Chains A and B, each alone.
Chain A
Amino acid sequence: MSVSLFYFVAFLTIFFALLVIFSKNPVHSVLYLIVTFFTFTLHYIMLNAQFLAIVNFIVYMGAIMVLFLFVLMLLNLNEGSIGSKSNLLKMVGVIAGMCLVITLVGSVKALNASDPLVLQTQDLGLVKNLGKVLFSKFLLPFEISSILLLSAMVGAVLLAKKDIKQG
């Protein structure tokens, strides 16, 4: 194992992220997004954040992707049913994104922070360690997030339900 594994996975991440936004068929976009999330899981494993790797795997690649695919197939959107923006607007969008990259990279360069990443404690991202922090220091936000999830569930049902008056 060497450093080149990181660069290989990073290349895959960027490659599939580009495919997500440039593929014509939205179903292909979702499938490429799943692969992108899988490469993110690989990144988490390499950072020894095992809990996040598992959660990323289950929540993103499981739940969220199933939601996306369901909605996409429910709406029956075929390839070409939605046109693309004009080439001028596409160019403007890409140039704006490149400007963002240049700005952020320039500010990082100004920081001069290039010390290598070192895992100081091997069990930093394990469930045991994170659970201790989550249920002591972050207990109140954890409880509040349960309320958030409940309200999101109620809101989603309310929004997706057909209006009775309009039939």
Chain B
Amino acid sequence: MENLTQAIQGVPLNHYILLSTIIFAIGVIGVLIRRNAIVIFMSIELMLNAVNLLLTVFSVHHNDPSGQVFVFFIMALAAAEVAIGLAIIVMVYRNINSTDVNILNKLKW
């Protein structure tokens, strides 16, 4: 563990911000270009994780454990969000027999 944590000694903060930015953007692109509601949901998870990583990095950078506690809360929130979101997707599937978001473009059912 000791020599594994030596690996980050010297990685600039900028590169972590860059990595998180790229992953967040990949999540945004996924939301924009996919039609399957479950894949869109997975892209949202990707965005959440990018922010989690950045919070942890800033927590290490400022030597303050509060950031990591925040990440813990975000993970609890993400678990609740996934449970509710997947229940909604199952309900949508019962109504329209598909999870294609393009079918859901009218609020009439």
Interface residues of A (CB under 8 A from B): 1-3, 5-7, 10, 13-14, 17-18, 20-21, 26, 29-30, 33, 36-37, 40, 43-52, 55-56, 59-60, 63-64, 67-68, 71-72, 74-75, 77, 81-85, 89-90, 92-94, 96-98, 100-101, 104-105, 108, 113-122, 124-125, 129-130, 133-134, 137-138, 141-142, 145, 148-149, 151-153, 155-157, 159-160, 162
Contacts and interface: CB of A to CB of B under 8 A. Distances in A.
Interface residues of B, number: 78
A6 B74 CA distance: 24
Contacts of A152: 79-81, 83-84
Contact of B9 (A40, A117, A133): A117
Interface of B: 1, 3-19, 21-30, 32-36, 38-39, 41-43, 45-46, 49, 52-53, 56-57, 59-61, 63, 65-66, 68-69, 71-73, 75-84, 86-91, 93-94, 98-100, 102
A156 B49 CA distance: 22
A33 B42 CA distance: 8
28 contacts: A17-B26, A20-B42, A21-B30, A47-B56, A49-B56, A49-B59, A52-B56, A59-B78, A63-B79, A67-B83, A71-B89, A77-B99, A83-B100, A97-B29, A100-B28, A105-B18, A105-B21, A116-B12, A117-B11, A124-B60, A124-B63, A124-B65, A138-B66, A148-B77, A152-B79, A157-B87, A160-B87, A162-B94
